[in-house]
Structure 1
Amino acid sequence: MHQTDICILGAGPAGATAALHLANKGIPSLLLDKASFPRDKVCGDALSGKVVNELRRISPGLPQQLGELQEALPSWGIHFISPGGHKLSVPFKYNYQPEQDTPAGYISKRIHFDDFLVQQVRQRPEIELRENVEVARYERALEGGFILSDKLGKPLVQAKLLLVANGAQSGFTRHVAGLEQEPEHYCAGLRAYYKGVESMDADGFIELHFFKDFLPGYFWIFPLPGGHANVGVGMLSSAVSRKKVNLKKEMLRMIAEHPELQRRFAKAELVDEIRGFGLPLGSKKRTLSGENYMLLGDAGALIDPFTGEGISNGMISGRWAAEQAEKCLQQQNFSAQFMQGYDKAVYNRLWKELRLSRQMQKLLNYPWLFDKVASKASKNQALAETISCMFNDLDLRERLRQPSFYAKLLFN
């Protein structure tokens, strides 16, 4: 049985980021994943400016290395298409110049991006990466920490500190940390890859379509290199259950029947099977740690409730988990109370953003209001720029929660 101070479960963006930050501090870790890389991960594949910033925190040259990959397409923002068909464009960077500026974000299939991070992991002697290792059981060790075993009960690892980054379906999250999947804070999604979708944005803007007959869900189109696109749908699990929605049937119906999609997909070809996945949303505060463990990324339910973005928040949690792990080792304190420093750090960085996104998610309950905002912004450059700034400035975004903002819009 392998003995280690720090064991990280899951080598996706959250786990790999934690391991790399620990390595930068000279702290060794054992990184386990049940798959071997490169491996696919069902996702929207969008890498926001926050992802680029987190890469830079790992190593200043990483964003440039990502940009040099042919599998990474530069992306400059988001198009929100309202229920009435009005387009609200929100650049990731105000007044961007594609020819001169470094891209604010990218779109890259997870099979490529996750492998990009794992390649950084492989270069670090401080990190021992073990692939094809599936942990099925977690037991408390008598002297503290955890003993991890396989399906047959064979002990694999004993660790003082466990960083749990093994995704939305984490058994540890449910059975040890006790976090339940709550339909009101959980999103069901489908993803497919198409080629030949017409009228993709020249600057790689991702598209979120809010069709009247699919609310409170949304339909997305994210451009990818080589004329491909990531196409999918997402809806709160509570709404899927309440409305008895068949997501696959609805996705194909929208492509076939909505005039704009019908035109754009007329010559498109499905190049992969339609696959489902779950998104545990960060729309409520949860306890992210306990004695001898921390929950990272999707395992801690940190996905943005409005845009569905989870990669950057996972990487941010990985960075703060490394900070907390360093303190734990220095003080040899792995108590639940001491571990609360991790929860505070993560929510100090993310909660304001997650709370605002939750409010914007609720805006979908008032499609006429969403429509009015988008309609006015599509005709008023100053308003469009103001809303764009709001998305990139949390203090300005607070105004989106205030009824007075919408009152001025409606009656001016």
Structure 2
Amino acid sequence: MTDVPWVSIPAGSGFGIENLPYGVFSLPGELPRVGVAIGNHVLDLAGLAAEGLVDDRRWFASGSLNGFMAAGRAAWEANRARIIELLTIETYRERVEPHLIPLDQVELARPFDVADYVDFYSSIHHAANVGRIFRPHADPLPPNWRHLPVGYHGRAGTVQVSGTPVYRPWGQRRETPEQEPSYGPSRRLDFEAEIGFVAGMPSAPGHPLPTSAFRDHIFGFVLVNDWSARDIQAWESQPLGPFLSKSFATSISPWVVPVAALEAARVAPPTQDPPVLPYLRCDEPWGLDVTVEILLNGQVISRPPFASMYWTSPQQLAHATVGGAPLRTGDLFASGTVSGPERDQRGCLLELTWGGTEPIELADGTRRTFLEDGDTVTIRAFAPTAGGGRLSLGEVTGTVHPSPAFPSEVPGAILGSAGTPET
């Protein structure tokens, strides 16, 4: 068997035979089902299953990947191998080709039902920058940061697929320590470029997972935009972590890239000093050589390197379960903002504009400290393949919309002259 596909794959598409990411799609007037991206097409797995070309236990004629993800690693590996056979052996072409649907004809949905959502804080460059912005005369990293993957618990119900409108959130904010808090739309709306992984095989309560269990339980990776209202966050995160400032929307990419597809991208992570505790030790290099690109209104404004992340995905999984919390199919774990050591490698506007004090200038001559209504943020990412090519993790995009209707009688609200909130 050769690994050269008979299906046409445009140069640079990033969706070659080495990738084969899973997603959920639909055609007009039809129910959603599971497919795999290949070139400029989606391979309809439900259609293949109906013809007996792939094993199917009601996994693929579904609007969610959860059933297949729960089937476990053996099923994932067998299905991946079978898809490669079908796309590379010419004798299958006549039966398989009718199930290739142009991507521009389908609508992509959220690929899995999110059981739970956790967001980490794993970039040492991001954490140090945030510390310097808010604590310029103190150690930028909190004492626990190098000892454990810090994280917060998000809201699964607000995780949405790429392209879903993002509405400017409301909340309390306090402009200065001397002022009383006010209520209204966020004035410091931000994005955070992240990479997440999603659980497939669940685990039993009370049984922590070691770092070595990552491949057995984790189905794949997605891109994440952890939208953040910085003014709401600064006021509410005293002393606990983010709540309303991050629970209004989290966007994910529509394609889930299998763990197996990123094997060639694994590299040694940064050296961890001091040495981590035994449950966080990892016998394999699980840094990932993934380059992230952030676009604001179509203009690339940053390229953070994921390989610089201090805490790796297997360490995040081990830490999330060390207390005995069970892993559930559909659990989503995001990396935290991906940032590198250089200014053009920062993963959010908070860092890129240094807390709003250093605006960035766009190609149209406008300047930004934080996001304005109408702004579109796109995050995309690429990784190397074993054959020297480039694999795409797809993209996640979202456009900021004004806050919905504003209650006219809200104590402490800031209203403009027309009865609308000032921004």
Pairwise TM-score range, normalised by the shorter structure: under 0.3
TM-score (norm 2): 0.21
